[in-house]
Amino acid sequence: MNTAPITYKPAPTQPKFTMPKGACDTHCHVFGPAAVFPYSPQSKLQPGDAPKETLFALHDMIGIEKCVIVQSGVHGFDNRAMLDAMNARKGDYLGVALLPVTVEDDEIRRLDDLGVRGIRFNYMAHLVPGASVDELLRLADRLARFDWHLQIHMESSLIEGMADGLAKSSVPVVIDHMGRVDASLGLDQAPFNALLRLMENDHLLVKVSGCERASRQDAPYGDAVPFARTLVERFPDRVLWGTDWPHPNFRADAPDDGVLVDLIPEIAPTAELQQALLVDNPHRFYRFDK
């Protein structure tokens, strides 16, 4: 039995914001259950279980109908827990895998048939390192045959150095969590300006998830909202939103998912922007109708 502490609030508050029909959570994870899907021994985080049933209950409560589960470093390259959760709500739940750059085309094809749409690479101090930019670009040329994308999770200090390479990608590139900027440094900080310049490339998308991570304040993380709103208003057709449940490696007590949902009308202040962020963009980009 897994007795490690969980990384989420088991009883989040009911949000006031009402999701539009077809709303999509494009960034969440499942952990285990470890007794069925063991954690990677290379993972520094060995959390309590965050199984699909708990994720589904959260989504049902907050009004999420579609989802993209992102493979967590907790499970490394063993994507079975993610695939199991996707299969339980087949067609409505898709995935982004963790895979080595040496993955064979046959494996990509198999995962594509199961609903996987891309590969995530981490460039964070607490996670197993990703591939070099040159390796990413070579992989991108193969992924193009499957309409897959690259998803990049990186420290904000790396945006400038990786930007030229990512701009050359032959497939779309999704930047996680607003590039992990530090909201306390203000909108005019160098990493955020580098992210805005990178987003001028039409094949770049960004997730305006992670306000709680960017913020250096307590809930409701108001200092991070201007960053997300800037991205939504400048790039309305290339922004995505996600819960990041169950909030791995958060700096303190797990955030309240109801509070995070209620940031959406501050991030996307009009119905048109909310529709694009939560429905139109993810439905089109992840190809839920494939």
Q: Would you say 270 and 53 are in contact if contact means Cβ atoms under 8 Å apart?
A: no
Q: Would you say 263 and 273 are in contact if contact means Cβ atoms under 8 Å apart?
A: no
Positions of E strands within the chain = 24-28, 66-70, 93-97, 116-123, 149-154, 173-175, 204-207, 239-240
Question: Hey, what are 189's tokens?
Answer: 């900080």
Classify 240 as helix, strand or coil. strand
Question: Hey, what are 237's tokens?
Answer: 């057709």
Q: Would you say 59 and 278 are in contact if contact means Cβ atoms under 8 Å apart?
A: no
Q: Would you say 171 and 138 are in contact if contact means Cβ atoms under 8 Å apart?
A: no
Cβ-based neighbour number of residue 154 at 10 Å? 21
Catalytic residue among 244, 256, 257, 262: 244
**Helices 133-143 & 159-167 angle (0-180, nearest 10):** 30
Please confirm, yes or no, whether 182 is among the known catalytic residues: no
Residue with tokens 């049933």: 53
Instruction: Tell me what percent of the chain is helix, strand and coil, each rounded to the nearest 5.
Output: 40, 15, 45
Catalytic residue list: 244
